[in-house]
Chain A
Amino acid sequence: MAVWSPTSYGNPPHLNPLRIFLLETEEISVKIVLLFLTKGGVSKIRIQRCGFIVFLFLFVGAPEGSTGSRSLLLATTTSTQDSGLLDVLIPIFEKKTGYFVKTIAVGSGQAIVMGQKGEVDVLLVHAPEAEKRFIEEGYGVHRRRILYNDYGIVGPFEDPAKIKGMKLATEAFKKIAFVKALFLSRGDHSGTHLKEREIWKAVGVNPEGEKWYQQTGLGMGQTLSVTHEKGGYTLSDRATYLALRKNLRLNLLVEGDPFLLNIYHVIEVNPAKWSKVNAKGARAFTDFLVSKEVQDLIKTFGVDRFGSPLFFPASGKKEEGFGK
């Protein structure tokens, strides 16, 4: 009945009897509507009406499901999607293994909560403290380091707080708080937001509720846009900043502090805790990410568009070895 299907992904999707029933119900209900519409038709306008119905009919098909064992739910951060990295990696993985990956791009905080509820199979996140807790509490297994880049403090060209070139993120934050320069926080429990809170904690300043401290509640890209519009400071991961730089009047002012390392880990959701988790698929995906092929791809990703890589491969490396 469907004249068009989005794309065929490897193996035919697994259909359970209930879903077939649902799809059939949908088809039948559509048919009843059409019958109803045509039956009462007056011959004069019948042709028009039929044309309209055929038009609708063309696009009404039972949508095919694919949540069987061949599909894999990946919860990840917005930075891996917004930078376009996953658009490169996932098709390769799908072609190789036949899995269909459903990527849900949310903040690391939300991704971890989805993992705790067993709603996803695998996480690709960057919130080390929260990740460790996730593993300790038994929600996840097999946490592996995949890639890293770093955060930087970005701000307007004028730099009212004069933080340009500072070596330590804590010093820069202290200065921003001291001169009460506008600071935009993600405020969405994402990895970046957690990192930012960590820095404030290290500084010993609680910016919550201060006038110069505003929370956007948006993703990194949109927060950068707001920061640009308002001429404030914010903490951003390098990938998103580089990807959006062309639209922004913002400079990267503080970088290179080891405290600002941004490490992404992949975690498989514990199948012993949640029986519906696709453990085999999750393992295949994590194995794929640490493979040499992917690690080499990460090294060169973004160089053509931004002049420098957005991420660095981190599989098997020690944290101390990071940095440029």
Chain B
Amino acid sequence: MDLILEGMKKAFWLLFTFDPEVLSILLLSLRVSATATLISLLIGITSGVAIALYRFRGRAMVVSLINTGMGLPPVVVGLFVTIFLWRNGPLGFLGILYTPMAMIIAQALIATPIVMGITLAAIQHLPEKLRLQILALGATRLQMVWLLIKEAKLPLLAAVMAGFGGVISEVGASMMVGGNIKGYTRVLTTATVMETSRGNFDMAIALGIILLLFAYFINLILTHIQQREGLR
């Protein structure tokens, strides 16, 4: 119990004194996960909408694959990305293993199915007649898609939160493809693992608390936007 209290004290101390190392770890976590989430939104929302609106052969299989992907284990993603990015691997010529870029790729792969799955469900949940009505009023296809996305804003913001929450808290892939390199690819989760194995439990708890506070803060902003627009 003392340890948790110590950790909390340490967390606030580190935050209020703007500890440069913790600050850089925090900012890197945010930068990597925010970029990964943005990429996953781009891919996830567009393909999610497309799959929701079109009927094609093997669609049920694609949808079930996406739904399985929503629970993709980060370590497995990390393993595959590592193997692909190895110097002597198929994508080795890029030379991006153990860089923040590799972490962004891995995290985007983790978040994309989550965003895609929620988008798919959200768009499909809209009444069929709405679509017909929009088209009947003379909207182009692109305008229709845009209106549908706007209509499904609430669940789509939930997709953003789920995607971001999934990657910011993920440790397996970041550890593998980033390597937890000090001052370069060390993020909150990998730093927590390392401090635990170093026996610095107070520091590990402090980092954990900072991660939670930070995730809460981001979700607070997103929820704020979601609820404001939702009630309009």
Contacts and interface: CB of A to CB of B under 8 A. Distances in A.
Interface string B192-214: 00101111010000000000000
A30 interface: yes
Contacts, number: 130
A48 B228 contact: yes
B224 to A, nearest CB: 8
B179 A102 contact: yes
Contacts of A119: 86-88, 97
Interface string B23-47: 0100110111011001101100000
B30 A59 contact: yes
A29 B232 CA distance: 30
B230 to A, nearest CB: 11
Given A59-B34, A219-B197, A276-B87, A105 B180 contact: yes
B101 A60 contact: no
A22 B104 CA distance: 12
A30 B86 contact: no
Interface stretch (B6-14, B54-62, B64-72, B181-189): B181-189
B97 to A, nearest CB: 8
Contacts of A4: 27, 31
Interface string A48-64: 11001001100111010
B42 A276 contact: no
A103 B181 contact: yes
Given A19-B94, A40-B150, A63-B99, A117 B197 contact: no
Contact of B88 (A32, A60, A117): A117
B16 interface: no
B199 A221 contact: yes
A29 to B, nearest CB: 6
Interface in A57-76: 59-61, 63, 65-68, 73
Contact of B101 (A29, A65, A246): A65
Size bracket, chain A contacts: 35 or more
Contacts of B201: 247
A55 B221 contact: yes
A33 B41 contact: yes
A44 B34 CA distance: 26
B87 A33 contact: no
Given A19-B94, A48-B225, A67 B88 contact: no
A297 interface: no
A118 interface: yes
Given A56-B34, A103-B179, A243-B198, A45 B86 contact: no
B84 interface: no
A51 B215 CA distance: 18
B87 A7 contact: no
Given A40-B146, A52-B221, A59-B30, A33 B38 contact: yes
Contacts of A66: 99, 184
Contacts of A26: 35, 39, 104
Contacts of A222: 196-197
A261 interface: no
B95 interface: yes
Contacts of B225: 48-49, 52
A199 to B, nearest CB: 24
A59 B27 contact: yes
A63 B42 contact: no
A43 to B, nearest CB: 13
A130 interface: no
Interface in A106-136: 117-119
A59 B41 CA distance: 16
A48 B229 CA distance: 10
Nearest to B93: A18
Closest 10 CB pairs of A and B: A63-B100, A244-B199, A221-B197, A67-B95, A59-B31, A104-B179, A276-B87, A82-B198, A7-B183, A102-B181
Given A19-B96, A40-B146, A65-B101, 20 more contacts: A4-B31, A22-B101, A23-B101, A29-B39, A33-B42, A61-B31, A63-B101, A66-B99, A81-B194, A82-B197, A82-B198, A102-B179, A103-B179, A119-B86, A220-B197, A221-B199, A243-B199, A247-B201, A276-B87, A276-B92
Interface of B: 24, 27-28, 30-32, 34-35, 38-39, 41-42, 86-88, 92-101, 104, 146, 149-150, 179-184, 194, 196-199, 201, 221, 225, 228-229, 232
5 contacts: A32-B42, A104-B98, A222-B196, A243-B199, A246-B199
